[in-house]
Amino acid sequence: MTTTRFAPSPTGYIHVGNLRTALFNYLIARKASGTFILRIDDTDAERSKQEYTDAIMQDLEWLGLTWDKVEYQSKRLERYEAAADALREKGRFYEAFETPVELDLKRKKQLNMGKPPVYDRAALEMSDAEREALRAERGQGVWRFKLDHTRIAWEDGILGALSIDAASVSDPVLIRQDGQMLYTLASVVDDTEMGVTHVVRGSDHVTNTATQIQIIEALGGTAPSFAHHSLLTGPQGEALSKRLGTLALRDLRERGVAPEALLSLMARLGSSQPVELRTSLDEIAEGFSLDQFGSAPTKFDENDLFPLTARHLHGLPLEAVADKIAALGVPDALAAPFWDVTRENITVLADLEGWWDLCRNGAEPVIDAEDADFVAQAMTMLPEGPFDAGTWSAWTAEVKAATGRKGRGLFMPLRKALTGMSHGPDMGDLMPLLQVVRARG
């Protein structure tokens, strides 16, 4: 039974980078009719906030990435304690008392001598008496997992065969001095006890994976399959980490990005498959496979979301937007023609507002000096409203006969006079919706 999880820390809003992780894990579970767990990694009581948990859930629901189960790490602390005890019993857990300043000094010395800055295990050399003395002086220490100095290897679902020499990694701290359980241990206990079979996460977790595999094995569990996707960069390959704060899913939602656009892009970006608009998660799941993704950083350009959103909106039936249109004040009878006329001329739904304003209140006319007389003459021929489907063709035919203008020279000045713009819907279709023509003078 395939089980995956998305494990955000509720210390902020989730952004496009997190979405990639969430979506991949969701799709793997969905394709296999498995279980997708939302795991809230909230062992950091100080930084974790309920409002962020709520926001994460809202964002996932907006995208349709619904979970089968939710788990909170803060409710499982005794499970982590039990695992810590088991590691102690097996001689794989030790207390260390160095202060951050001392550790920093050690690292600097090692680097100066051209050595990798790996924790020197000085704590393992201490006698019980020395340990007691330090505890009396400094209080509790941190608890480190004692790595086996072997090469840790796994077949990564995206990166292929990987291995890391455990001797090149510091023994990871799993419990902080203040007793806080750290993610590394909590995550391993959860993945094992919740039957997680596949873990997809960002490539910043590769080293974690190596140490987690040893912890899982020390606890008698079986490591899940791991896959690490590349991290997102900006369009020029620049680091995105600083900008991710402005790429929160809720900001994109606010800016009118359609969930379908976001999902379609994120499911294909960085893969060998072209980005194509898909309108359901089933369709997205169908063509999805981890082996289409590579290790190169993935360029993300938020501007790509808007043409996809526009394409999605163009294809929507009236029912899908009827509420939005009614909320603008469009009378029921005009809703269908209004949507037909505008849908290919919007990028985001909020653009409808401008089109309805044009229909209801008319536009500030745009009239070039050389067209002033022509437009003034044409306006005298424009029939009183309401206009209908034949108004534009009948009117422009009459204006053409009277002025001799044709083609663009005939149509463009009239479009600009009526709509204030040089582009937009077919004028024949738009006319029946125009209730006010300010260019009448």
Q: Which residues bind ligand GLU (CB under 6 A)?
A: 7-9, 41, 183, 187, 201, 205
What is the closest distance, in whole angstroms, from the C-beta atom of residue 145 to ligand GLU in the complex? 16
Instruction: Output 201 or 311, the one with its CB closest to ligand GLU.
Output: 201
Q: In the numeric block, which tokens belong to residue 15?
A: 């952004």
What is the closest distance, in whole angstroms, from the C-beta atom of residue 9 to ligand GLU in the complex? 4
What is the closest distance, in whole angstroms, from the C-beta atom of residue 18 to ligand GLU in the complex? 7
Task: Name which of 352, 97, 298, 93 is nearest 211 in CA terms.
Answer: 93
What is the closest distance, in whole angstroms, from the C-beta atom of residue 182 to ligand GLU in the complex? 11
Instruction: State how far the alpha carbon of 308 is from the alpha carbons of 261, 349, 424, 432, in Å.
Output: 5, 13, 19, 29
Instruction: Output 4 or 345, the one with its CB closest to ligand GLU.
Output: 4
Instruction: Output 146 or 205, the one with its CB closest to ligand GLU.
Output: 205
- Provide the CA 13 distance to its chain's centre, in angstroms: 10
Instruction: State how far the alpha carbon of 281 is from the alpha carbons of 266, 304, 417, 431, in Å.
Output: 12, 19, 44, 39
Q: Is the dihedral of CA 300, 304, 305, 311 positive or negative?
A: negative
Instruction: Output 176 or 324, the one with its CB closest to ligand GLU.
Output: 176
**What does DSSP say about strands 93-96 and 142-145: parallel, antiparallel, or unpaired?**
antiparallel
What is the closest distance, in whole angstroms, from the C-beta atom of residue 44 to ligand GLU in the complex? 10
Q: 318-327 and 332-342 are packed helices; what angle lies between their axes, rounded to 10 degrees?
A: 110
**C-alpha to C-alpha distance for 181 and 87, rounded to whole angstroms:** 14
DSSP H or E stretch at residue 123 = none
What is the closest distance, in whole angstroms, from the C-beta atom of residue 258 to ligand GLU in the complex? 26
Instruction: Output 240 or 399, the one with its CB closest to ligand GLU.
Output: 240
Instruction: Output 43 or 419, the one with its CB closest to ligand GLU.
Output: 43
What torsion, rounded to 10 degrees, do the Cα atoms 206, 208, 214, 219 define? -130
Residue closest to ligand GLU, measured at CB: 41
What is the closest distance, in whole angstroms, from the C-beta atom of residue 183 to ligand GLU in the complex? 6
Task: Name which of 186, 226, 222 is nearest 203 in CA terms.
Answer: 226
What is the closest distance, in whole angstroms, from the C-beta atom of residue 208 to ligand GLU in the complex? 7
What is the closest distance, in whole angstroms, from the C-beta atom of residue 419 to ligand GLU in the complex? 49
Are the C-beta atoms of residues 173 and 142 closer than 8 Å to each other?
yes
What single-letter DSSP state applies at residue 299?
E
What is the closest distance, in whole angstroms, from the C-beta atom of residue 217 to ligand GLU in the complex? 17
Which three-class secondary structure state does DSSP give residue 51?
helix
Instruction: Output 9 or 214, the one with its CB closest to ligand GLU.
Output: 9
- DSSP letter for each residue of 193-260: HTT--EEEEEGGGHHHHHHHHHHHHHTT----EEEEEPPEE-TTS-B-TTTGGGGBHHHHHHTT--HH
Longest dimension (CA), the chain: 108
Instruction: Output 76 or 205, the one with its CB closest to ligand GLU.
Output: 205
Instruction: Output 198 or 312, the one with its CB closest to ligand GLU.
Output: 198
- 439 class by beta-carbon count within 10 Å (0-12 exposed, 13-18 middle, 19+ buried): buried
Instruction: Output 92 or 205, the one with its CB closest to ligand GLU.
Output: 205
Within a 13 Å sphere around the CA of 152, how many CA atoms are in the beta-carbon half?
24
Instruction: Output 41 or 171, the one with its CB closest to ligand GLU.
Output: 41
User: Which residue's entry shows tokens 């997205």?
Assistant: 284
What is the closest distance, in whole angstroms, from the C-beta atom of residue 33 to ligand GLU in the complex? 22
